Amino acid sequence: MGNIESNRTSIFSKVDEDIKCPLCQRTLSKGTTYIELNFHLYYCDKKKISRSNSDFVNCNYIAQKDFQNIMPIKYNSDTKISKNILKEDDMIKSTVNDLQLAIDYNEIEDIYEEEIKNINKNMNGNEKYFELRNFIKKKKSQMNYNMTIKSNSYTKIFKSLKEINLYFDIKLIYEKKNKVEKICSLNYILDKYIRIMVKFQIYEIVYEENILSFSFRNKNVDFEMIGIILTILFIYPEIKIKYKFPMILFKMILNQKLSIDDVKYENKKLYNKLIALINFRNASELNLYYTYNDNELILGGSNIKIDENNLYDYIEKVVNFEMNKYKKKINIIKTIIFQFIPKKFILSFNAEQLDKIINKKI
């Protein structure tokens, strides 16, 4: 019987000997990965499995509630979703790199460590980008699922994109009331979604710069969907939407400091006030201190006066304090992205490089 390696082993590592399943007695051959073992255990018994006395003691269980990507998804009657699920052997093999599965795998360790250990911090943006492309290509090549989403409601097609694994081979069919079917590309669906959001004034198009803008203060903005769109643009380089995402979004995803230009579309009132402050000839005459909305921007800021020497530092801190209120909404976007792309991959880029990748400048 094969032995499971230590908890530092990656879920994508392979066992070096045949292993016998304690539930069905089936022999899983040498070369089976640990995520395959997880899936097999789930397949054998959908109830929670205690493995304290089994050879799989270090294989972590995939909880049933997080297994939605394998089991059928239910929608309203006017939406039909079908998956061409293969027999058990192929099904197990197809699951090797399903990044959207929630895997309870020693949270202390980075489960993608083996996949990204060769990324050199000294790589330039293009080199990192092609490393990312190779990573994504590898994951997609190992996914064998086909999924068809058929609906007479674009809204439900949009919703379904948040419920599936984006590495699936997805076919989108819009069914009109007269039963005429129209096959839609992901590119078309994203553009359609953006047009609808613009129509209802949830998104704004800054036409002179072709920027897709939205307010973090708008309660109607679906930040999960923004995360999905960004992820699709990462995974599918051939998909190009008509509009660009603003630089502020990439900076906030990477926790980079913001500048006055970053709030130009998000908070126009604040932007205009700060511009007026810059244009004022003598900042020391304004009787300003390192405070904003009765909050100190630095320790003891209420006693530190603003003058020409620290004016730009003050403005930067005001902008970052204002936008820090929306950290939870940015975390929603990041959570979606990190389900598919390892966090270390994303954080190895700077905002300008993410801008080139997402807005298809590479």
- Given a contact cutoff of 8 angstroms between Cβ atoms, the answer to whether 184 and 205 are in contact is no
Integer-rounded Cα Rg, in Å, for the chain is: 25
In a domain, 320, yes or no: yes
pLDDT digits (tens, 9 = 90+) for 114-160: 555 666 666 777 888 888 888 888 888 877 677 888 888 899 899 88
Q: Tell me, yes or no, whether 303 lies in a domain.
A: yes
208 and 355 belong to one structural domain? yes
Burial (CB < 10 A; 0-12, 13-18, 19+), residue 59, is buried
Domain boundary among 12, 45, 61: 61
Domain boundary among 39, 61, 83: 61
Q: Which domain holds residue 24?
A: 1-61
pLDDT tens by residue, 320-340: 999 999 999 999 999 999 988
pLDDT value at residue 43: 58
In a domain, 318, yes or no: yes
CA–CA dist 102, 55 (Å, integer): 22
Copy the structure tokens of residue 331: 């975390």
Q: Name the percent of the chain lying above pLDDT 70.
A: 70
Tell me what pLDDT residue 247 has: 93
**Count of domains observed in the chain:** 2
Share of the chain above pLDDT 90, in %: 41
Q: Is residue 298 part of a domain?
A: yes
**Structural domain includes residue 304:** yes
pTM for the structure as a whole: 0.69
Domain boundary among 61, 86, 108: 61
Burial code (b: 16+ CB inside 10 Å, e: under 16) for 213-230 equals bbbbeeeebbbebbbbbb
Specify if 250 maps to a domain. Answer: yes
- Asked if residue 247 is part of any domain, the answer here is yes
Q: Which of 354, 350, 342, 355 is nearest to 118 (CA)?
A: 342
Assigned domain for 154 exists:
no
Q: What is the distance between the alpha carbons of residues 85 and 304, in angstroms, rounded to a whole number?
A: 66
Does residue 60 carry a pLDDT above 90?
no
Residue-wise pLDDT for 226-279, tens only, equals 999 999 999 998 998 989 999 999 999 999 999 999 998 888 899 999 999 999
Paired residues of 204 in beta bridges: 213
